[in-house]
Amino acid sequence: MSSYQGVIVSDPWLQSKFTQVELRTLKSKFISVRTQHGRVTRDDLPPVFAGMKAFSEMFSEDEIKTFLGESNSDMGEEIDFEAFLRLYLDLQGRAVEKSGGLRSSFLKATTTTFHHAINESEKASYVAHINNYLAEDKFLKDFLPIDPATDALFDLAKDGVLLCKLINVAVPGTIDERAINTKKVLNPWERNENHTLCLNSAKAIGCTVVNIGTQDLVEARPHLVLGLISQIIKIQLLADLNLKKTPQLVELVDDSQEVEELLSLAPEKVLLKWMNFHLKKAGYQKQVTNFSTDLKDGEAYAHLLNALAPEHSTHSTLDAKDPTERANKVLEMAEKLDCKRYLTPKDIVEGSPNLNLAFVAQIFHHRNGLTDSKTTTFAEMMTDDAETSREERCFRFWMNSLGATTYVNNVFEDVRNGYVMLEIVDKIFPGTVNWKQANKPPIKMPFKQVENCNQVIQIGRNLNFSLVNVAGNDIVAGNKKLIIAFLWQLMRFSILQLLKNLRTHSQGKEITDADILNWANNKVKKAGRTSQMESFKDKSLSSGIFFLELLSAVEPRVVNWGLVTKGETDEDKKLNATYIISVARKLGCSIFLLPEDVIEVNQKMMLTLTASIMYWSLQQQEAASDNGEISDEIFVEGRENETGLSGETSDVAVDSES
């Protein structure tokens, strides 16, 4: 494996304007244009920039063409990547100016353009959390406790081990720790592998990391490291704020319709609902709508703790006239419930939203004050089978990884208004959504939701998805079977498009499932291994041996065969499956499956896993080709006819009626 450098720009000022993720995204667009036209000129760029959602909302393609032509340069003159970046920044500046100085959600992604102040109080809280939860870790205990007054947190984060371990604290079992490089001194390859494993695993538990690249973590950019740590800790603290983990939450609602609404709420909204439920019972008249200004005076906290812990109840907290004094009494009372003091009275008085949310979540974990009286009443609403639940989880995290404005908390509920589906489609196929005909939430009129969903279905038909007897109403109605079928086809199509767009491999021709199957089998065979798979539902895949041999074939040093079992018993299969997922993520594959998907041979997940490994491998070939290196791998290996793609049909095609 060659030493990782990321996308390097010769001009340091220009490099500083982008994160590595942004540079890779923009370079991908640049290379795509160059592949299509043989070179890149200003004439080629208007449709490229117009296809970016934020720019399309600001400018027409003709306006962009006018801007690009304002310089004295010939529109037909070839430009390099750095000139492309400068034109992008110029257009971005015009967009900011046109919006009155307000940066859109897309534009504010260029986080490196501005100075980022670090919230020392939040940093201290996160350090306390890390010191508490990782104190006994065999590797990290030599580096803990971290002193929050220093930059030790960022220094420790540079090798990636800390962040990987923190992810496993948040969602146990996400990373097979055997895949983490834990030497005292790591070389650049090993450090990059840890950060790659960290970012792909963070996406797989629901973190949004579209603005963060491995190089950003190697450099330990403070605002990005703290932002990622904040998301990981938040996921840990809010993990139980749902009906599956805490069925007693049904006590917050009165009927089945409200249960459906509860299912669709973000965890932090459920936390607010829980808090208001107890405050109302305690006679508190105000409604808490946020974790900032509504909690500054400490009154809500005082009423909540008196209601939840009557044995520690005291009027002295409410009698305190000074907000800081009241906040201090609130924290003293919370400590009696064993809530760790991760925030200060000053944080409460100043209305720190992240730290207040963490504090309320801690109170919930230690004393939620709910009963089991209504848990059986709505039990029939939680009847998803294990496979459906896993697939919902997979699609939810995949959708969130794309960086859409709307965060998906529950696929089956959140897609029903159609808007998030339009956002996801636009992320994958820019320019296909007619935003003038889209209805933005909140959408009160059902027919407006149907309009959005009808556009989603029409786009699917234009992409030749199998949508027999499917209409927008089916999505609005929350038909789980059809929603899963549509999302699977969308995910599969996006993967095949990624493979197709690799210019040195597909030559722009369509990729089929059979091509992926043949590529994987030939890759393993060429490496001198004997495993083969007959299809993506081949039961022999459950042992995990084929995928480990495939991973070893594309990067020999990535698999430690001393850790691999024969995959004969259920326990051995679980060990191999867990290791496969972490090794693939460590390599650079963005995947969202679980070990159970490998063990049970879920054919959809087997295809996405194989395709992701294939995409990574072929990307390395493309990078080698760009650098003038010779690669012995060609895309058409495994095909009987090198002049065209296989015409075999997919063995995992999903029909909406199946």
3-state secondary structure 323-378: HHHHHHHHHHHHHCCCCCCCCCHHHHHHCCHHHHHHHHHHHHHHCCCCCCCCCCCC
Which residues on neighbouring strands pair with residue 78, listed in sequence order? 41
- Which distant-in-sequence residues (6+ apart) come within 8 Å of 385 by Cβ? none
Between the alpha carbon of residue 649 and those of residues 293, 413, 490, the distances in Å are: 58, 32, 17
Flag whether 647 is in a domain: no
Query: Both 183 and 151 in a single domain?
Result: yes
Task: Report the pLDDT value the prediction gives residue 82, as an integer from 0 to 100.
Answer: 85
Token output for 242:
């749902």
DSSP state of 635: T
Please tell me whether residues 270 and 355 are part of one structural domain. yes
In-domain check, residue 541: yes
Q: Name residue 456's amino acid.
A: V
Euclidean distance between CA atoms 329 and 349, whole angstroms: 13
Alpha-carbon gap, residue 147 to 246, rounded angstroms: 35
Strand partners, 41: 78
**What pLDDT is attached to residue 296?**
92
Give the separation between CA 361 and CA 372, rounded to whole angstroms: 20
Domain-terminating residue out of 380, 405, 437 = 380
**pLDDT of res. 137:** 94
Closest CA to 496 of 506, 504, 486: 506
Between CA 285 and CA 290, with CA 286 as vertex, the angle to 5 degrees is 155
Verify that 50 and 79 share a domain, yes or no: yes
Q: Which of 208, 238, 268 is the last residue of a domain?
A: 238
pLDDT tens-digit map of 218-231: 888 888 899 999 99
Q: What is the DSSP letter of 638?
A: T
What single letter denotes the amino acid at residue 419? Y
Which amino acid is residue 409, in one-letter code? Answer: N
| CA separation, residue 391 to residues 101, 138, 388 (Å) | 42, 34, 5
Residue 575, in any domain of the structure: yes
The one-letter amino acid at 600: E
d(CA 411, CA 386) in angstroms, rounded, equals 15
Please check whether residue 359 is in contact with residue 342, taking contact to mean a CB–CB distance below 8 angstroms: yes
Cα atoms in the 13 Å half-sphere on the side-chain side of 388: 13
Task: Look at residue 175 and tell me if it is in a domain.
Answer: yes
Could you tell me which residues come within 8 angstroms of residue 200 by beta carbon, excluding any fewer than 6 positions away?
585, 586, 588, 589, 590, 591
Cβ pair 549, 564 in contact under 8 A = no
265 in helix, strand or coil?
Answer: coil
Distance of alpha carbon 274 from alpha carbon 248, whole angstroms: 11
Q: Which of 380, 618, 592, 599 is nearest to 511 (CA)?
A: 618
Does residue 601 fall inside a structural domain? yes
The secondary structure of residue 79, as a DSSP letter, is: -
Q: What is the pLDDT of residue 95?
A: 74
What is the distance between the terminal CA atoms of the chain, rounded to a whole angstrom? Answer: 43
| CATH number of the domain that residue 354 is part of | 1.10.418.10
Q: Which residue has the tokens 């051995």?
A: 572
Question: Tell me, what's the pLDDT at 216?
Answer: 86
Round to whole Å and give the CA distance between 80 and 42. 10
Tell me, yes or no, whether 327 and 424 share the same domain.
no
Check whether residue 135 and residue 26 sit in a common domain.
no
Maximum pairwise Cα distance, the chain: 84
**315 and 411 co-located in one domain:** no
Domain match, 531 and 611 both: yes
Residues listed for the chain = 658
CA-closest candidate to residue 261, choices 453, 416, 473, 484: 416
Closest CA to 243 of 102, 42, 103, 413: 413
Residues 6 or more apart whose Cβ sits within 8 Å of residue 339? 359, 362, 363, 366
Q: How many domains does the chain have?
A: 5
Q: How far is CA 162 from CA 157, 188, 203, 302, in A?
A: 6, 16, 17, 36
Residue 263: inside a domain: yes
What is the DSSP secondary structure assignment for residue 266, as one 8-state letter? Answer: -
The answer to the question of residue 508 being in a domain is no
**Whole-angstrom Cα distance, residue 288 to residue 272?**
7
Query: Residues 599-656: pLDDT tens digits?
Result: 999 999 999 999 999 999 988 877 666 555 544 444 444 333 332 233 333 333 333 3
Shared-domain flag, residues 362 and 399: no
The DSSP H or E segment spanning 627 is none
Give the distance from CA 480 to its chain's centroid: 22
Judge if 194 and 306 occupy the same domain.
no
| Domain identity same for 465 and 557 | no
pTM of the model: 0.78
Domain end among 380, 413, 445: 380
d(CA 39, CA 31): 9
The pLDDT value recorded for residue 22 is 75
List of residues 6+ apart from 618 with CB closer than 8 A: 499, 502, 505, 633, 635
442 and 477 share one domain: yes
Q: Which residues of the chain have pLDDT under 70?
A: 1-6, 11-13, 15-17, 20-21, 53-54, 57, 71-75, 96-117, 256-257, 373-385, 503-508, 623-658
Instruction: Look up residue 439 and give its amino acid.
Output: N
Asked whether residue 47 is domain-assigned, the answer is yes
Q: What is the predicted pLDDT for the residue at 501?
A: 77
Task: Please give the single-letter amino acid code of residue 24.
Answer: R
- Counts for the chain of helices (H) and strands (E), in that order: 31, 0
Is residue 78 helix, strand or coil?
strand
Which among 300, 116, 202 is positioned nearest to 582, based on CA atoms?
202
CA distance 460 to 421: 11
State whether 401 and 359 are in the same domain: no
Q: Is 41 helix (H, G, I), strand (E, B) or coil?
A: strand
Give the domain range for residue 179: 120-238
- Can you give the C-alpha Rg of the chain in angstroms? 26
C-alpha closest to that of 26 among 14, 12, 43:
14
